[in-house]
């Protein structure tokens, strides 16, 4: 078939398979700690000032080499630019609606609020410690959970010694709050 009848786009069908970004609850706020806000802002700055210009330079060089249809540097570079631009849009939107909350203002208190590190015990005696953070900064592998997660929703506003009910697919669990900590003011 003649190339005149083929359509080149800047979009690959495989872009649809990319993982979705975490969604905020309808009408909810995008709470984030000062440290989390700084990390997102630093990532945005790095993408805009370092990563994107470097990839644009590579794509420009690859485009100057001629036939773009079989040029791996060009094709990969264009795909990488789309990924970078998508991340830049996401970070820009999230930073615009972010509501920075400093958890250290609650230092010394025993009630669970955003930013708390909470140790709780299950009915079987096992204990778990989690830190309640923003949706864009939580990392479950590090024991950090989003403030909109079911566990965080069960724990929020309770105090040390309180028992809360967590609704799970396996049934209702009772969690006893053992300890609540906040980072010290800086």
pLDDT digits (tens, 9 = 90+) for 33-87: 999 999 999 999 999 999 999 999 988 888 888 777 777 888 899 999 999 999 9
pLDDT digits (tens, 9 = 90+) for 148-159: 999 999 999 999
pLDDT of residue 48: 96
> Mean pLDDT, to the nearest integer, of 156-166?
95
Cβ atoms of residues 104 and 182 within 8 Å: yes
| Cα–Cα distance measured from residue 128 to residue 166, given in angstroms and rounded to the nearest whole number | 14
pLDDT digits (tens, 9 = 90+) for 115-155: 999 999 999 999 999 999 999 999 999 999 999 999 999 99
- Taking the CA atoms of residue 145, residue 116, residue 31 and residue 146 in that order, the dihedral angle to the nearest 10 degrees is 10
Grade residue 12 by pLDDT with cuts at 50, 70 and 90: very low
pLDDT of residue 69: 74
Q: Is the confidence at residue 11, as pLDDT, over 80?
A: no
| Cα–Cα distance measured from residue 145 to residue 41, given in angstroms and rounded to the nearest whole number | 21
Assign residue 171 a region: left if phi > 0, alpha if psi is -120 to 50, beta otherwise?
left
Grade residue 6 by pLDDT with cuts at 50, 70 and 90: very low
**DSSP per-residue letters across 108-130:** T--B--TT-EEEEE-TTS-EEEE
Domains of the chain listed by start with CATH number: 29-100 (1.10.287.180), 103-181 (3.10.50.30)
Grade residue 29 by pLDDT with cuts at 50, 70 and 90: confident
pLDDT of residue 27: 65
Q: Is the confidence at residue 184, as pLDDT, over 80?
A: yes
Mean pLDDT estimate for the chain: 87
pLDDT of residue 61: 87
């Amino acid at each position: 078939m003649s190339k005149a009848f083929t359509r080149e786009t800047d979009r690959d069908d495989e872009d649809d398979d990319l993982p979705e970004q975490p969604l905020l609850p309808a009408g909810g706020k995008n709470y984030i700690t000062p440290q989390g806000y700084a990390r997102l802002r630093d990532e945005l700055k790095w993408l805009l000032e370092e990563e994107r210009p470097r990839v644009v330079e590579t794509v420009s060089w690859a485009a100057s080499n001629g036939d773009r249809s079989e040029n791996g540097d060009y094709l990969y570079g264009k795909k990488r630019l789309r990924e970078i631009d998508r991340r830049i849009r996401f970070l820009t939107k999230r930073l615009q609606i972010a509501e920075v909350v400093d958890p250290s203002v609650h230092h010394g208190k025993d009630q669970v609020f955003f930013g708390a590190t909470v140790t709780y015990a299950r009915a079987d005696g096992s204990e778990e410690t989690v830190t309640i953070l923003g949706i864009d900064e939580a990392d479950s592998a590090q024991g950090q959970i989003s403030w909109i997660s079911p566990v965080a929703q069960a724990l929020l506003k309770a105090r040390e010694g309180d028992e809360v009910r967590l609704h799970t697919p396996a049934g209702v669990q009772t969690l006893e709050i053992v300890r609540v900590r906040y980072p010290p003011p800086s």
